[in-house]
Amino acid sequence: MSSAAFKEAMSRFASGVTVVVGTVDRELHGMTVAAFSSVSATPPVVLVCLGVNSTLGAALAPGEDVSISILPASASTTALRFAGLDGHEGDRFEGVALDAAGSRVPTIAGAVASLLTRVRQVVDVGDHRVMLLDVDEVRVGETNEVPLLWWSRGFAEAVRPT
């Protein structure tokens, strides 16, 4: 099976869009991630998959703080910024509203929900690192805005069936 065929099949699965933030050499780094999932409710554990060559993927290790912001449908520009696809040069956080209350790692302001986590375990699988994260705190957004989705190589918006 070719990598292209596998990628095409996976593009047919809709995923929520998140921004994952951590520190590397005492500097904040953030990236857009669609490979995010709940693993366990007791204890609360989630996972994210980061490219082994990404700054965060290469640097994060057990015990480090990581935030995950689940983006609302209105935040496609934020998703593009943290994916490095908006043409912005320099600091990805420039001009982006953050919520840093009570955390070493900020979340994206206006997120549908945010999780403050700590890396539990890192497993290298092919060209990605699977990071299991213990959830220390959950913040649910104040709006009922639908989440931003990634589907078929583009953004999509969730619609509840009537």
pLDDT at site 26: 87
User: What does the angle CA 42 – CA 113 – CA 160 come to, to the nearest 5 degrees?
Assistant: 100
Q: CB atoms < 10 A from the CB of 156, how many? A: 15
Query: Beta strand 107-108 with 98-99: parallel, antiparallel or unpaired?
Result: antiparallel
Q: Is the model's pLDDT at 159 over the cut of 90?
A: no
The 10s digit of each residue's pLDDT in 95-138 is: 999 998 777 899 999 999 999 999 999 999 999 999 999 999 99
Domain 16-152, CATH 2.30.110.10 — does that match? yes
pLDDT at site 148: 95
In angstroms, how far apart are the furthest CA atoms of the chain? 49
Parse the chain into domains and list their residue ranges: 16-152
pLDDT at site 142: 79
pLDDT at site 70: 97
pLDDT at site 109: 95
What phi, psi does 53 have (nearest 5°)? Answer: -95, 0
Question: What tokens were used for 107?
Answer: 């979340």
pLDDT at site 97: 93
